[in-house]
Amino acid sequence: MPNTFGKLFQISTWGESHGPSVGVVIDGCPPLLPLKEAEVQAELDRRRPGQSDITTPRKEADAVEFLSGLFEGRTTGQPLAMLVRNADARPEAYADMRAKFRPSHADFTYTAKYGLRDHRGGGRSSARETIGRVAAGAVAKKILQLAGGVEVRAFVTQVHDIIAPGLSQFPTLEQVEASAVRCPHPATAAKMISRIKQVRAKGDSVGGVIECRVRGVPAGLGEPVFDRLEADLAKAMLSLPATKGFEIGSGFAGVQLKGSQHNDAFVKQGKRIGTATNRSGGVQGGISNGEEIVFRVAFKPTATILQPQQTVDVRGVATELQARGRHDPCVVPRAVVIVEAMTALVLVDHWMRNQAQNRTFKF
């Protein structure tokens, strides 16, 4: 099913950017999980528009409503449904796009596939769909935290050609949230914010890179061959709007090393076996090895820009389009929480699959 993700911890998102509402249904959430609306709302607040002067000015409270699956502060084991109503939709801003295809957007491909499309902000192709992912990710984060103290932390490492120096320590949430761009290196964050404002003033956009680190994941999560942990993480990340690249551990830079330089030597670390280095990014043979999971996701410049662009209309006639509406000049600051959410969803699903296979029967 194209709108469903996961096998045991399964989510289905629904809704359009300028429709009445958007939301998610989680099937397979364990019962008796203590959960408060405020915990989900805190994550949605990190994703919502209008939170700074470098994001879209669309004003949405993104207030979550639980429709089912929660009773007296605990999950029931039944489908957990959450809804967020759209309050500041302005479909009239997209009237010119009803007959014109926006360059590098999903307008043409949705028309080619379905024979019609929702031109109001892109419908399902809009990043507003990710509200459901973030809400479900908040639940997944809570499970991971209670199950094993797992921490998922994403942050911005690059905007356009501005690159932050590598971090030697696992960043705190406070460090990430200290700047509007969510880069934990203050000097670099200031340069990134300045660059985003510069391109926004010209009606243009820029892309960037988000790094995600996860600590506390036990060894053994992931399946061999087709459902490797890094393969499912890659699918999760590349399912996000505007993503164009994924790499884990040493990534593409690893091709510049020899095997003798790249291999992670095993060492005894207290009572556990670990590795002296982590060029594998915490995954070997598709299965977690107990080290920090480290990967990066590349996001393209926002496709909708406020400059005249050459395109064609639905009849194939050449025309010009100058987009209107409210859009992020750079998607990465708000995408940080979405990357965290999808990471948590992958890990919870694999955690449950591992438990089902290896902990159910005693032989």
Residue 61 lies in a domain: yes
Average pLDDT over residues 118-143: 93
Q: Quote the pLDDT of residue 325.
A: 62
Is the per-residue pLDDT at 363 higher than 60? Answer: no
Q: Which of 65, 72, 47, 70 is nearest to 128 (CA)?
A: 47
Torsion of CA 191, 192, 195, 197, to 10 degrees: -110
CATH number of the domain enclosing 170:
3.60.150.10
Burial of 312 (0-12, 13-18, 19+ CB in 10 A): middle
* Percent of residues, the chain, with pLDDT higher than 90: 79
The answer to the question of residue 75 being in a domain is yes
Quick check: 207 pLDDT over 60? yes
pLDDT over threshold 70, residue 232: yes
| pLDDT tens string 278-298 | 999 999 999 999 999 999 999
Q: Which of 311, 278, 297, 292 is nearest to 342 (CA)?
A: 297
At residue 361 the predicted structure's pLDDT band, cuts being 50, 70 and 90, is low
- Residue 140 is predicted with a pLDDT of 98
d(CA 280, CA 283): 6
Question: CA–CA separation, 24 vs 39, rounded Å?
Answer: 16
More confident residue, 130 or 361: 130
List the single range of 5-9, 95-99, 331-335, 344-348 with lowest mean pLDDT.
95-99
Domain that holds residue 260: 4-358
Can you say how many angstroms the Cα of residue 152 is from the centroid of all Cα atoms in its chain? Answer: 12
Q: Residue 1: pLDDT above 90?
A: no
> What SS3 string covers the chain?
CCCEECCCCEEEEEECCCCCEEEEEEECCCCCCECCHHHHHHHHHHHCCCCCCCCCCCCCCCCEEEEECEECCEECCCCEEEEEECCCCCHHHHHHHCCECCCCCCHHHHHHHHCCCCCCCCHHHCHHHHHHHHHHHHHHHHHHHHHHCCEEEEEEEEECCEECCCCCCCCCHHHHHCCCCCCCCHHHHHHHHHHHHHHHHCCCCCCEEEEEEEECCCCCCCCCHHHCHHHHHHHHHHCCCCEEEEEECCHHHHHHCCHHHHCCCEEEECCEEEECCCCCCCEECCEECCCCEEEEEEECCCCCCCCCEEEEECCCCEEEECCCCCCCCCCHHHHHHHHHHHHHHHHHHHHHHHHHHHCCCCC
pTM metric for this prediction: 0.95
pLDDT value of position 52: 80
Q: For residue 134, tell me if it sits in a domain.
A: yes
Task: Please report whether residue 363 resides in a domain.
Answer: no
Q: How many domains does the chain have?
A: 1
Residue 40 has pLDDT above 90, yes or no: yes
Q: What is the mean pLDDT of the chain?
A: 93
Q: Give the confidence band of 121 by pLDDT, cuts at 50, 70, 90.
A: confident
Task: Give the pLDDT confidence score for residue 98 in this predicted structure.
Answer: 86
What's residue 51's pLDDT?
79
